[in-house]
Amino acid sequence: MRAYNFSAGPAILPEEVLKEAQAELFDYQGTGMSLMEMSHRGKEYSAVHDETIANIKKLLNIPAGYSVLFMTGGASTQFALVPMNLLGAGQTADYTNSGAWASKAIQEAKLLGGKVNIAANCGKEIPTRVPSIDELKLTPGAAYLHITSNETISGAQWKVFPKHETLIADMSSDILSKPLDVSKFGLIYAGAQKNLGPAGVTLVIMKDELAERCPETVPTMFRYKTHIAENSLYNTVPTFPVYILCLVTRWLLAKGGLEGMQKQNAEKAAKLYAAIDGTGFYTGTAVKEYRSDMNVTFRLPSEALEDQFIAEASKLKLKSLKGHRSVGGIRASIYNAFPPAGVDVLISFMKEFEAKNG
């Protein structure tokens, strides 16, 4: 029996995807080689590469004028690439600070010497949340507005996005979890290891015209327009992570696309939050209106009980429930691939644990 993996990332993958990858790992489609051993410019990998782009465009209904890119370095590298490419001399960039990951993006923009306006700051608030749209204090003519769509550590998520001429979002932990109007964004980026696939590839969806803002002083590899021009093949793309991403996008399409996934995700989260709210023993850590459908965070009456909860859950193959080291508590990450049955098992354990220790 496989464990129920609540890890925030690297995170759970669909069983069907893992089994297909296992079957093709040694000999990919009768070639006598693993896809990991093949040229990133060969016909076998090229077919995977092109299908993955096509699947993402179909799932998100991406309009013309946008490119889908596969890059490396995770979201942490994008924190720097965004201002390097899009924040011109004398311009100001607006950022919202909603927690740990948004704060890191802000730090990188400041390191590069750009003018950064914190349009709203609720990063240290308890219970946690993301900013409301009406509290944003935006800069007229700002180069862009940057948000973090879902804070993995705090368990807070944007439910309605602000409107901006150039809206940029780190969507590492909720990308492809629900339908999205890509036309409202200038750039979206997401490390794969939370909701897309294995670590090693970063998905970037970008409006092509924005890439032309990049100063010529930016190194070639760090320019978005380099990767747009070369279809993400300027250098060796992480081929195997892209292959797994391809299988995940096939799985999503077979499951009814993002509308079907949104329904399942909302049902899983609602059931778990109801179990938390139905007792005084467990306490949710995010403001209810902003609770994440991907990362459910909660506390027990004491840290000793939390440690006991995590240890006993692990013995039942309920794994990786420990909250982030910076905040503690419990975190159940229930991404697209997390099965609804696993939520039921966790809720059953929570009731038993409270009965014994409440």
Active site residues: 101, 170, 194
Only one residue has tokens 């300027």, namely 234
* CA–CA separation, 339 and 317 (whole Å): 14
Contacts of 124 (CB under 8 A, 6+ apart): none
